[in-house]
Structure 1
């Protein structure tokens, strides 16, 4: 696993993003998916919003996903296992990229059929501390006809290039939060992930 962390860190350093399939075992993915389903069934997900603090607003015309934020002070056993993986990845990224990463935050994200998230950056005025975005997809199966691709707008020498990444279970997407605009295209079936951020501040 250590070599995989180094490969991700190298790609992040060289081009600002990385896609890794089969990042976790399928058994672990299924366990995380089941935990997400249990939390959802208990009504603990909430509509996601835009902005931070007093500027936070639910705007379904911009994003229509639901989220459950993990509390780093009271993680479940499965969440702790994932947190430990992210800590190891954060160390590798710090060693290669010198980003001063100091903490991690994450939530389960669920996009119901018909939902989306318009183009945005994860790092903006009120969340400058988000440095690296880390997304792990948990769905059992996914095909292009299911929609829901993460569309990344990659900077080129002239203009930008679009890259559509489908939310295949076990796939990890890592990119610089302040440099890669992206959106979630309309999904045709329930789309599940853990979305997180490496931050340059303490909790």
Structure 2
């Protein structure tokens, strides 16, 4: 699916799932880099809130993250950043969201971890407008758990839920402030690059 089609889906329904967004070769390279970062102890327990309101709440989320610094990207991260930049431009052209920057981290959910229902845009991060999640796992089956459950608002005020399994190479894009979601308990290590297009500069 081309970036223009992704932007159209985002405009029409607020979300989009793209299989094989990256080549398997590139996925494996990113996965290897993630494993090296993890081995060097650069992952930290994820929390909720920002600044003084940041807290570690394992009863709400139990993943670990390693933030990417846009000023110190590795060659592989730069390649992915360029792909996200092209997508940002396409979304702005179609959706007029005023997206101005991108931030991302590697996310790793150990077996038994989860993230309860939430929105990616809340009081302290109103600048997050569009969420983009790329899965890096080698193999995955539905029995492995770890699905992203999105709650899709309906015209009648009701919502429907949809489970997206974290198949390697798949990209999920959705409006950060409109699609509540959760990560169901995973039964094996679940790896992604989770990022947000923002309406502020760095």
**Which category describes the TM-score, using the shorter chain as reference length?**
over 0.9
Structure-2 residue corresponding to 1:51: 49
- Separation in structure 2 between the aligned mates of residue 196 and residue 43 of structure 1, nearest angstrom: 21
Q: Secondary structure at the match of 1:141?
A: coil
Structure-2 residue corresponding to 1:139: 137
In the alignment, which of 147, 150, 162 is matched to residue 148 of structure 2?
A: 150
In structure 2, stretches of 5+ residues that fail to align are none
After superposing on structure 2, the runs of 4+ consecutive aligned residues of structure 1 that deviate more than 4 Å are none
Q: Provide the TM-score with structure 1 as the length reference.
A: 0.98
Q: Please list the CA deviations of residues 144-200 of structure 1 after superposition, one character each: whole Å capped at 9, or x if unmatched.
A: 000000000000123100000000000000000000000000000000000000000
Q: Give matches, 1:61-80, under 5 Å.
A: 61-80=59-78
Q: Secondary structure at the match of 1:153?
A: strand
Structure-2 residue corresponding to 1:127: 125
Q: Give matches, 1:27-106, under 5 Å.
A: 27-106=25-104
- Separation in structure 1 between the aligned mates of residue 101 and residue 52 of structure 2, nearest angstrom: 23
Q: Alpha carbon RMSD of aligned pairs, Å?
A: 0.6
Structure-1 residue corresponding to 2:180: 181
- Separation in structure 2 between the aligned mates of residue 98 and residue 156 of structure 1, nearest angstrom: 23
Q: Provide the TM-score with structure 2 as the length reference.
A: 0.99
Aligned residues: 201
Q: Secondary structure at the match of 2:32?
A: helix
Q: Offset at 1:18?
A: 0.1
In structure 1, stretches of 5+ residues that fail to align are none
Structure-2 residue corresponding to 1:198: 197
